[in-house]
Structure 1
Amino acid sequence: MNDMPRTSTSAAELPGVRWRKSRHSGAIGNCVEVAALDGDQVAMRNSRDPQGTALVYTRAEIAAFVAGAKDGEFDDFIN
């Protein structure tokens, strides 16, 4: 990726990145996948649309989200 700040890109524009998903993901494709990018960025995509849009965040943004998830801040979304 270039040095311009971006919030989304086509996952197809990220060749060679290693996508990972949680071991808690279901077999029916309800998975969010993440990939480390060059520099301070992390991409996220929907596993059902691997060539679709990938959202790009800084590592600090991802760390803040994960910390909130661990603290239960988003539990109301799943109940």
Structure 2
Amino acid sequence: MNQLYSGMPAARLDGVVWRKSHFSNPSGNCVEVAELPDGRVAMRNSRDPEGPALIYTRGEVDAFVRGAKSGDFDDLII
């Protein structure tokens, strides 16, 4: 695998397993995540699987998930 960087094409992340939430809808409006070999986490738009992947540390993902669980982003829900 080449050097990993945020915004790289998701298609270049060979061998990773992408998954999405069971809350995702059938029309494909979801975010997919994949664990990278170095422990970081990649995220991509499921409607653009070859598009950019954002790369986050475990700590960054932990902070986001904790915030989502505690309601910090509830104002963004339609």
- TM-score with structure 2 length normalisation? 0.92
Q: Tell me which stretches of 4 or more aligned residues in structure 1 moved more than 6 Å.
A: none
In structure 1, what is the Cα distance between the partners aligned to 2:27 and 2:62?
A: 27
SS in 1 for 2:54: strand
Give, as a single letter, the amino acid of the residue that structure 1 aligns with 2:19.
R
How far apart in 1 are the matches of 2:28 and 2:2? 30
Quote the residue 1:27 is aligned against.
Answer: 26
Partner of 1:46: 45
- The aligned counterpart of 2:12 is 13
For 2:27 and 2:55, the matched residues in 1 are separated by: 24
Q: CA deviation at 1:56?
A: 0.4
Partner deviation per Cα, 1:11-37 (whole Å, 9 max, x = no partner)? 011011100000000001101000000
> Structure 2 matches for 1:33-72, cutoff 5 A?
33-72=32-71
- In 1, the alpha carbon distance for the partners of 2:73 and 2:41 equals 20
Unaligned runs of 5+ in 1: none
Q: How many residues are treated as equivalent by the alignment?
A: 78
Alpha-carbon distance between aligned partners in 2 of 1:35 and 1:43, rounded to the nearest angstrom: 5
**Percent of pairs with identical residues:** 60
State the one-letter code of the partner of 1:14.
Answer: L
Structure 1 range deviating more: 39-48 or 67-76? 39-48
Structure 2: unaligned runs, 5 residues or longer: none
TM-score (norm 1): 0.91
Distance (whole Å) between structure 2 residues aligned to residue 60 and residue 71 of structure 1: 16
